[in-house]
Amino acid sequence: MMIWDDIFLEVDFWINIVSIALIVIGIYGIVFSQHLLRMVFGLGLLEAGVNILLVKAGYQKEAIAPIVTQASDTMMSNILAATAQMVDPVPQAMVLTAIVIAAGVQALALSLVIRIYKKYGTLDSHVLFLAMERDRHLSLNQKD
């Protein structure tokens, strides 16, 4: 019982579970569903899961957010003492970047989904694959 308590009460465990769940659900959406929108959403979940792992890397026990709050206290030694207690700011910056990148990619994917739906009236990826191959075949044999 004790061991299980230890594990379940550990934040670390739950963070891992959440991120893996996000990743796996994302992969399910991307790979195993045939619906384009689900694929895009899956991508979002996947990237969210990865981002959690990345931002987790910067966490330090007993540390504070990386912001110097005692603005009036400009003694360098004090600031240094404060910053030494802070978490790693680099992963936060990286995750910020990664989120924006993911947003851009997903927006692009969505716009493609819109276009595809307007053109073919379906969002089934297998049907669309066949449609693409058929288009290719037609364009090869009709060209003048």
Partner 1 sequence: MSVLDLDHVFFLLIVNIGIAVLWGNRPFVGKILTLLYILEGLSILTSYHVLLSGAVLSSSLTFTVMQQTVQWQLGVSGGFFALITFMAAGLATWFSSGVWARSYAPIRLLHSYMALNVAAMLLLLASNDFLGLFIAWELVSLVSFLIIAINGGRSAKAAYSYILYAFLGAMAILLALIIIWNATNSFSYVEVRHHWSTMSVNRQLIVVLLLITGFGIKMAILPFHRWQAPAYAYVPAPVAAFLGAISSRMGLFALFIVLLQVVGIDVIQTLWLPFEIINMQTFLLWLAALTLIIPTFIALRQTDARLLLAWHGIGQGGFMLLGILSANALGTAGGIMHVFNHASYQAALFFAVFSVSYRTGTADLDRLGGLVTRMPISFTVMLVGIIGLAGLPPMNGFVSKWLIYKALLDEGMPLLFLAAVIGTLGTILSVYKLIHNTFLGQLRLEHENIKEVPWSMSIPMMILASIVFITGYFPGLLLESIAAMQSTLGISVVDYHLGGVNTGKGNLNMIVVVSTMLMAIGMGALIFFVLGNPRKQVTQWDNYAGGHFLTSDMRYQYSHNFYPGLMRVISPLYRNTIFWLESAIVSTVQFMAHISYALFMQANYLLYLILLVVISLLWVLAV
Partner 2 sequence: MQDSLILLVVLPLLLAFLLPVIARYLGNLSGLTGSLLLLFNILLLANAWNSVGYSPKVILLGGFAAPLGIVFYIDKLNMLFAILTTIIALLLWPCRTHNTDVREYVLWLLLLAGCYGVILSGDLFNIYVFYELLAVASYGLVTLPATGASYIAGFRYLMISALGSAFALLGIALIYSFTGSVNIAHLAQIIPDHLHHIWGYSAALLLIIGFGVKAELFPVNFWVAEVYSHADKRVTALLAGVVSKIAVLIILRFIILLFPWQDIFNFLLLLGIIGVIVGEFAAFYAQDLLRLLAFSSIAQSGLVIIAFACATEAGIMAGIALAIHHLLLKPALFLLASHCDRSINDLAGLAKSSPWASALFVILALSLLGVPPLPGFWAKLLLLQSLMAEQYLLLLVLVLLATIVEAAYLFRLFMLFYQRQEMPEQKRITIQGQELYPVITLSGILLLGLFFLPLFMDSLREIAMQTSNIEAYINTVLGKVQHIGEGNI
Partner 3 sequence: MQRWTTILFLTGLSIVLFAIITPLVLGQSPMLVGKLINASAVNDTGAANLVTAVVLAYRGLDTLGELAILFTAATAIGIILGTTDKTQTTSSPTAGFIVATAAKVLFPLLLVFALYIILHGHLTPGGGFQGGAVLAAAFFLLTLADSGNNIKHKVTQVIEALAGTAFIVLGLVSFALQGVFLQPWLDKGELGSLFSAGSLPLLYLALGLKVGAELANLLSSLANVEK
Binding residues (CB under 8 A) for partner 3: these are 10-12, 15-16, 19-21, 23-24, 27-28, 32, 53, 56-61, 63, 65-72, 74, 76, 79-80, 83-84, 86-90, 92-94, 96-97, 100-101, 103-105, 107-108, 110-112, 114-115
Q: Interface residues for partner 2 in 18-57 (CB under 8 A)?
A: 23, 26, 30, 36, 39, 43, 46-47, 50-51, 53-54, 56-57
* Residues sharing a CB contact under 8 Å with residue 37, sequence separation 6 or more, in sequence order: 113, 123
11 versus 140: smaller Cβ distance to partner 3: 11
> How many residues belong to the site for partner 2 (CB under 8 A)?
43
Q: Which residues pair with 64 in a beta bridge?
A: 86
Contact 82, 70 (CB under 8 A): yes
Alpha carbon distances (Å) from 105 to 99, 100, 109, 113: 10, 9, 6, 12
**Residue with smaller CB distance to partner 2, 82 or 98:** 98
User: Does 91 engage in binding with partner 2 (CB under 8 A)?
Assistant: yes
Nearest-approach distance from CB 90 to partner 3, in angstroms: 5
Beta-bridged to residue 86, according to DSSP, are: 64
* Rounded distance between C-alpha atoms, residue 27 and residue 104, angstroms: 19
Question: Is 120 a binder of partner 2 (CB under 8 A)?
Answer: yes
The rounded distance, in Å, linking the Cα atoms of 85 and 126 is 53
